[in-house]
Amino acid sequence: MGMVGGGFGAFIGDAHRRASRICNDYELVGGVFDVDYEKSKQFAKAEGIPADRCYISVEAMIQAELALPQSERMEVVSIVTPNALHYPFAKNLLHAGFHLICEKPMTMTVEEALDLEKLVTGKKLTFALTHTYTGYPMIRQMRDLIASGVLGTIQRIDAQYYQGWINSIIHGTESRITGVWRLDPKHAGVSSCMGDIGVHAFNLIEYTTGLEVKEVLADLSTVKEDVQLDLDGTVLVRFGGKLKGVIRASQVCGGEENCITLAVYGAKASLKWAQENPNYLYMLSDSEPTKIYKPAHGYNGKLAEASHTMPAGHPEGIYEALANIYKGAAKSIRAEMYDAGEFPTVHDGVRGMKFIHSVVDSNKSGNIWVKV
Amino acid sequence: MGMVGGGFGAFIGDAHRRASRICNDYELVGGVFDVDYEKSKQFAKAEGIPADRCYISVEAMIQAELALPQSERMEVVSIVTPNALHYPFAKNLLHAGFHLICEKPMTMTVEEALDLEKLVTGKKLTFALTHTYTGYPMIRQMRDLIASGVLGTIQRIDAQYYQGWINSIIHGTESRITGVWRLDPKHAGVSSCMGDIGVHAFNLIEYTTGLEVKEVLADLSTVKEDVQLDLDGTVLVRFGGKLKGVIRASQVCGGEENCITLAVYGAKASLKWAQENPNYLYMLSDSEPTKIYKPAHGYNGKLAEASHTMPAGHPEGIYEALANIYKGAAKSIRAEMYDAGEFPTVHDGVRGMKFIHSVVDSNKSGNIWVKV
Amino acid sequence: MGMVGGGFGAFIGDAHRRASRICNDYELVGGVFDVDYEKSKQFAKAEGIPADRCYISVEAMIQAELALPQSERMEVVSIVTPNALHYPFAKNLLHAGFHLICEKPMTMTVEEALDLEKLVTGKKLTFALTHTYTGYPMIRQMRDLIASGVLGTIQRIDAQYYQGWINSIIHGTESRITGVWRLDPKHAGVSSCMGDIGVHAFNLIEYTTGLEVKEVLADLSTVKEDVQLDLDGTVLVRFGGKLKGVIRASQVCGGEENCITLAVYGAKASLKWAQENPNYLYMLSDSEPTKIYKPAHGYNGKLAEASHTMPAGHPEGIYEALANIYKGAAKSIRAEMYDAGEFPTVHDGVRGMKFIHSVVDSNKSGNIWVKV
Amino acid sequence: MGMVGGGFGAFIGDAHRRASRICNDYELVGGVFDVDYEKSKQFAKAEGIPADRCYISVEAMIQAELALPQSERMEVVSIVTPNALHYPFAKNLLHAGFHLICEKPMTMTVEEALDLEKLVTGKKLTFALTHTYTGYPMIRQMRDLIASGVLGTIQRIDAQYYQGWINSIIHGTESRITGVWRLDPKHAGVSSCMGDIGVHAFNLIEYTTGLEVKEVLADLSTVKEDVQLDLDGTVLVRFGGKLKGVIRASQVCGGEENCITLAVYGAKASLKWAQENPNYLYMLSDSEPTKIYKPAHGYNGKLAEASHTMPAGHPEGIYEALANIYKGAAKSIRAEMYDAGEFPTVHDGVRGMKFIHSVVDSNKSGNIWVKV
């Protein structure tokens, strides 16, 4: 495995490396870890990566790796750069035949996303988008239960992603604002809150229910006058038929850490999950006691059980969720059998970009319904 | 105290009677308990109420009570009928000089609500609207903390009221549908979900923050083709300035019991509360451990402390919350000193009717912004 | 109903009065509310009780009430005095033919307890001991589920009652110590912690399981040198056969409010309950998701359902639990049909006194096994 | 790193390997993975370990590794065999100069434990005992807060470790009983429940408080006639002075998963923690709202913060806790600076063996006090 981005100070790059080691199907052999080549080399040294596989650019990496015999060459590259760089790097790497693991949001525009989808499909490569939360065993169990029809007709869907970390930044000094690439449209794209976290809530809905959001009506807020991107918003969503729902996301909910919740209400039963205690899945019904599903039990589906390795009551967390996605991607790369849902695909990336852009369009156009 | 409605099988009437007894400032001396006079008389007998004060109609009750010497006469009447009857009865009773305790929603139209407000103000009578949840000690503490400014600028408000009880009805037999007056516009008014429960969420926001919702944009759903009123909906709300929020309410969240949640996020700290564990109030901040406020502690404000009588750790519930409102009304009736917030007033009723009607208008008009 | 004790400042007397009003089968018509007759009269006045039924002593009350025609006479007396007075008052009142509702611990000695039991049985009077926690719907549901055999053979029982309120007293000034009658053997009896709260944990075990504790081995602590009674302790308990368990109680767990927990583990399933969220009962099993039982559902047993009046999700609390016991006693007084378990009896009082005394004996004798 | 034990089917060996990879300071280069050499070789192959470093015995491994140049030789060996083999292997490996990471309980007898302690001290080697739960950030924060004195004098300590997994075994078929080495004294030692899990609760107490348990009085149970070792028990503990506490452990609490709880009550404040939601630490006090400490916040101590790498709200779990211990051991092996508490030492192992043996002695001798 090679890596692009993720040098000193980048928590997400570290998370990907840990996940790849937990999964144990990958070995990090090289990469471009920082735009500053000196820093990149220092980082490679600290990680025990040979100097000659720490490259000055993605282009250099591609050229050099392709020159290696296939058995030594990187098979897959993990892209953990700021958002704006995902597309150009992904495009070049796919053209060169590398499998990819890529952070979300996948691209800056819907067109770029469709372009990557075409490339991946055409070249029959593996592309895993790290919507990490889909790696949790109980999210996978939720998908399984919903697919089984136990909820009956779905009547309402409600997803939330509340954080507070930008709060201290926007109320802080100017320097801190400029220091956060997520608030800069050049690096982050058309949206901060919806692009960074709202899209996770959207993805969890489509992942667990198998339904597609058809239309959105969004009201976003920049919270402060001098902020250019949305930091907060509510999105009304419709799924066709009578089914409606809501996606709520905010980066200014002071004190919230990473408060993702998902509730799917059906005519016969309902399911609720919250990320901060990810090993609890609640099934509600009108006629029976509420049930709590937990990992490492025979009552779970196959994919949920394969996604947790410790005995019951030994909590696994976010790194293991990401490792589950790496494991799914590894199976795909090795052309082993795997189940739908073992990792988010380039198509999930396309859906995410469509969501982000429709939400921003709806908001700009005066809070009207926009097709996704 | 007299009572209108609340005979056999009416849980809300029973709740009011219990609350009045807990509070111990009231004695139920008569009323009109059922449209069926025979049933009403049987009920009066079962409650130990003298037959001659069980009246055939509200008009008869007014006439007879006014004929009694003031010391024996009902001072206050509690109205616990279906929604459509609140206004005509309240109007007549106010004209006759009775103080009122009234179930919500207060009236069927905004005009009626304004009319009652005018009457109450003009006649200097006490009118308590039983938005019961405002009687909980920790909701009162929330109001107090927000008033103290500890949250800083409020940045987002999110209120939810999810129930599932209508779920089994709409999927059940025809006979059950016709049996539920809440689904019949003649008795329930223009809205089921928003009128019955969404308005509670709205009221909790205005009660705890002291802010007014200025505009709403709503998307409601009847869920089933043959249902005439909304059973589910999401309301985008704006408070002026940059502050936005959301109110979510549904009666088809199967398995949910009475899941009211309220979150107010500020620049410095945030507060979260949930009705099903009403004695826990969470304060979140970016820099300090989350704090859990509970009743019966010196750190609470005066009104919160006066609203809980047992020592800490002895949970009080919904009946005590309603009793707190009865107590506040009793103080007002006796012209004792009391604090704003000890009971919801006729003005809260006006606000609620404006909310319900703007929400329904927004939905009918294609999900546009409507002023409250 | 008459009352002995419970004047100004006595929270437990207030609790009993509220419970009797919620239950609505009682009317407080007189009593001896304070040892200070003046204060007692002031209290009676404040409660709206006629001056001539506010008595100077229990003896005077008995004499005067017996002189009244039976239809006007108190049927039942509620005893809410400090512990040492329970026995003499109860004895006299029973001899005079009054039904009783009595606070726990029932007496100071086992002999006194047996004496009361003999009296109650002989005179066929109703005696309700207010082990309030047995009035909670979910404790009653626990009893019902265990009786149904769903747990299989019981393998371990663990009960806890942790409070912290004495903590601030024992670390405070001398005057506060002398002011607390619960720390004075003359008023409280041989034990503080076990007598006041440990006995509740013991009672919950016997109430829910129908089993009898056969032997105890206790290690108690006075925590401070100058405290005469136990404030903290652990009691190993045996039930005969291979079944063992533990009762833990403490009044010096700083910050704990009223943290009673009960866990009964069986070969097939287990049940857990905690008083501070009394409407949640957890059933655990190795092979199925954990289930949460809540009040107001068809899946509950008859007694649990009769013990909660509001719809699901409307939390009832400690006052309603006590009202449920008052209601059970009222049925018994009226010689109506009622179920075992609707109120704790004089026999539960005997069991409690035996428990307290065996625990104190075990501790004094060097932590040896003592038969209960 | 080498490994002894942990071949196919051994979840604890897999956990150690994952932890070592998360930590990223180790590389697994060889070992003895199974008593069956063929299986061991298959396992080595599956893990990508060269065949010539998969050894037939620990003796062979020692000989061969010592023959390698120091730069290629294993520095440290991880012992994850059944209990009875810990001591002989550890002894030989320490004599040969290898650092060790060893599963608990460390040995079968106190004498063996003292022997290892002598060896480790004499040879200045690193010995990390994997009391995994001490690797959780909030347990480390608990240690830090207690050391700071914020609790005041400690007044009560209560630790619990309840599991239910043996439940299904003892009620199952004979063959399953014989298949579980933990129930066989030859492999497990003198105790099952206390040796396997009670000792964790004991260790957490000594780790977090810095106090030593001085005396124990235990009542254990084998639950079934044909079981030789304890599966359940309660241990009264004394710490000198007036401080008392209790350790409760059971393997027959059906439906419990891995329910470890720890509560330390002080005169000024108290701390509570539960393993199944390891990222929440509760601080209770009489005068302030309960506080919830969570990882990744500036208010935590240095060691707690170093023990969590993700931003707040991204739950880390049991693998990361074990990785934290591996990381501490790595620092020690490299002779880097590290803090007390970064990994449990051979001395903790000695304490654990003393605890297990005093508990078993107390129980055998008729539940009397035994010095630890």
Residues C122-155: tens digit of each pLDDT:
999 999 999 999 999 999 999 999 999 999 999 9
| Contact flag D267-C167 (C-beta cutoff 8 Å) | yes
- CB nearest C257 (choices: B15, B312, B316): B312
Token pair listed for D272:
């509570």
- CB nearest D11 (choices: A11, A311, A316): A311
pLDDT exceeds 80 at position C182: no
Chains with ≥3 CB–CB distances under 8 Å to C: A, B, D
- CB nearest D291 (choices: B290, B294, B297): B290
Q: Which residues, at least 6 apart from B58, have a Cβ–Cβ distance to it below 8 Å?
A: B4, B32, B89, B92, B93
| Contact flag C246-D234 (C-beta cutoff 8 Å) | yes
Q: What is the pLDDT of residue A26?
A: 96
Q: Which residues, at least 6 apart from D93, have a Cβ–Cβ distance to it below 8 Å?
A: D4, D58, D62, D77, D79, D100
Q: What is the pLDDT of residue A179?
A: 58
pLDDT exceeds 80 at position A180: no
pLDDT exceeds 70 at position B173: no
CB A118 within 8 A of CB A281: no
To 5 degrees, how large is the angle CA C341–CA C344–CA C346?
130
User: For the segment C82-122, what is each residue's pLDDT rounded down to a tens digit?
Assistant: 889 999 999 999 999 999 999 999 999 999 999 999 999 99
* Residue from D112, D130, D123 nearest D3 by CA: D130
| Contact flag C289-A293 (C-beta cutoff 8 Å) | yes
pLDDT exceeds 80 at position D284: yes
User: For the segment C269-317, what is each residue's pLDDT rounded down to a tens digit?
Assistant: 999 999 999 999 999 998 999 999 999 999 999 999 999 999 999 999 9
Q: What is the pLDDT of residue A167?
A: 83
Q: Which residues of D touch A14 (CB under 8 A)?
A: 309
User: For the segment B262-315, what is each residue's pLDDT rounded down to a tens digit?
Assistant: 999 999 999 999 999 999 999 999 899 999 999 999 999 999 999 999 999 999
* Residue from C359, C351, C105 nearest C219 by CA: C359
Query: For A23-40, what is the mean pLDDT?
Result: 95
| Contact flag A164-B270 (C-beta cutoff 8 Å) | yes
CB C102 within 8 A of CB C349: yes
Q: What is the pLDDT of residue D178?
A: 56
Q: Which residues, at least 6 apart from A158, have a Cβ–Cβ distance to it below 8 Å?
A: A245, A246, A248, A261, A262, A263, A265, B248
Fold of B137-310+350-364: Dihydrodipicolinate Reductase; domain 2 (3.30.360)
Q: What is the pLDDT of residue D61?
A: 98
Q: How confident is the model at residue B176 (pLDDT cuts 50, 70, 90)?
A: very low
Let me know if the fold of C2-125 is the same as that of C137-300+346-364. no
Strand order in the sheet with C99-102: C30-32, C2-4, C76-79, C99-102, C127-129
Token pair listed for A17:
């490396």
| DSSP three-state, residue C162 | strand
* Least Cα separation, residue B194 to chain A (angstroms): 15
Q: Which residues of C touch B293 (CB under 8 A)?
A: none
User: For the segment D214-238, what is each residue's pLDDT rounded down to a tens digit?
Assistant: 999 999 999 988 889 999 999 999 9
CB B87 within 8 A of CB B107: yes
pLDDT exceeds 70 at position C175: no
| Contact flag B258-C311 (C-beta cutoff 8 Å) | yes
Nearest chain D residue to A47, by CA: D24
Q: How confident is the model at residue B213 (pLDDT cuts 50, 70, 90)?
A: very high
| Contact flag C367-D244 (C-beta cutoff 8 Å) | no
CATH code matching the domain that covers D2-125, chosen among 3.40.50.300, 1.10.730.10, 3.30.413.10, 3.40.50.720: 3.40.50.720
Query: For D54-62, what is the mean pLDDT?
Result: 97
pTM for the whole structure: 0.96
Specify the range with the lowest mean pLDDT, choosing from A6-10, B18-22, C172-176.
C172-176
Token pair listed for C320:
């309603």
**Average predicted confidence (pLDDT) for chain B:** 94
Q: How confident is the model at residue B179 (pLDDT cuts 50, 70, 90)?
A: low
Nearest chain C residue to D289, by CA: C255
Q: How confident is the model at residue D189 (pLDDT cuts 50, 70, 90)?
A: confident
Per domain, the residue ranges of chain B are 2-125, 137-310+350-364
Fold of C137-300+346-364: Dihydrodipicolinate Reductase; domain 2 (3.30.360)
- CB nearest D286 (choices: C224, C254, C268): C254
- Chain center to CA of D286: 34
Spatial distance between the Cα atoms of B366 and B125, rounded to a whole number of angstroms: 41
* Least Cα separation, residue C288 to chain A (angstroms): 7
Q: Which of residues 257-286 of D touch B (CB under 8 A)?
A: 283
pLDDT exceeds 50 at position D295: yes
Q: Which residues of D touch B298 (CB under 8 A)?
A: 287
pLDDT exceeds 70 at position C172: no
- The phi and psi torsions of D138 (rounded to 5 degrees) equal -75, -20
pLDDT exceeds 70 at position D172: no
- The phi and psi torsions of B288 (rounded to 5 degrees) equal -125, 160
Give strand pairing partners of B28: none
Spatial distance between the Cα atoms of D16 and D28, rounded to a whole number of angstroms: 10
Fold of D137-310+346-364: Dihydrodipicolinate Reductase; domain 2 (3.30.360)
The amino acid at residue D342 is E
Q: Which residues of D touch C286 (CB under 8 A)?
A: 164-165, 167-168, 254-255
B299 touches D: beta carbon within 8 Å: yes
pLDDT exceeds 50 at position A324: yes
- Which H helix or E strand runs over B154? strand B154-162
Distances from the Cα of D160 to the Cαs of D145, D194, D272, D274, in angstroms?
A: 21, 11, 11, 9
- CB nearest C316 (choices: B14, B259, B318): B318
CB B261 within 8 A of CB B208: no
Q: How confident is the model at residue A11 (pLDDT cuts 50, 70, 90)?
A: confident
Query: For A182-202, what is the mean pLDDT?
Result: 90
pLDDT exceeds 70 at position C173: no
A313 touches C: beta carbon within 8 Å: no
B111 touches C: beta carbon within 8 Å: no
CB A280 within 8 A of CB A266: no
Q: What is the pLDDT of residue C10?
A: 86
| Contact flag A291-C289 (C-beta cutoff 8 Å) | yes
Alpha helices of chain D — where are they, by DSSP H?
11-23, 37-47, 58-67, 86-95, 110-123, 137-147, 165-170, 174-179, 185-188, 193, 199-209, 302-306, 318-333, 346-364
| Contact flag D290-B292 (C-beta cutoff 8 Å) | yes
Architecture of the structural domain at A137-310+345-364? 2-Layer Sandwich (3.30)
Spatial distance between the Cα atoms of A318 and C5, rounded to a whole number of angstroms: 58
User: ipTM value of the model?
Assistant: 0.94
Q: Which residues of C touch B256 (CB under 8 A)?
A: 313
Give strand pairing partners of B328: none
| Contact flag B156-A250 (C-beta cutoff 8 Å) | yes
Nearest chain D residue to C241, by CA: D223
Please state at what angle helix A199-209 crosses helix A137-147, rounded to 10 degrees.
50
Q: What is the pLDDT of residue C178?
A: 56
* Least Cα separation, residue D309 to chain A (angstroms): 8
Q: What is the pLDDT of residue D158?
A: 98
Query: For A184-208, what is the mean pLDDT?
Result: 93
| Contact flag B317-C316 (C-beta cutoff 8 Å) | yes
Token pair listed for D232:
């359940």
User: For the segment A84-112, what is each residue's pLDDT rounded down to a tens digit?
Assistant: 999 999 999 999 999 999 999 999 999 99
Token pair listed for B344:
């919801």
User: For the segment A124-171, what is each residue's pLDDT rounded down to a tens digit?
Assistant: 999 999 999 999 999 999 999 999 999 999 999 999 999 998 887 777
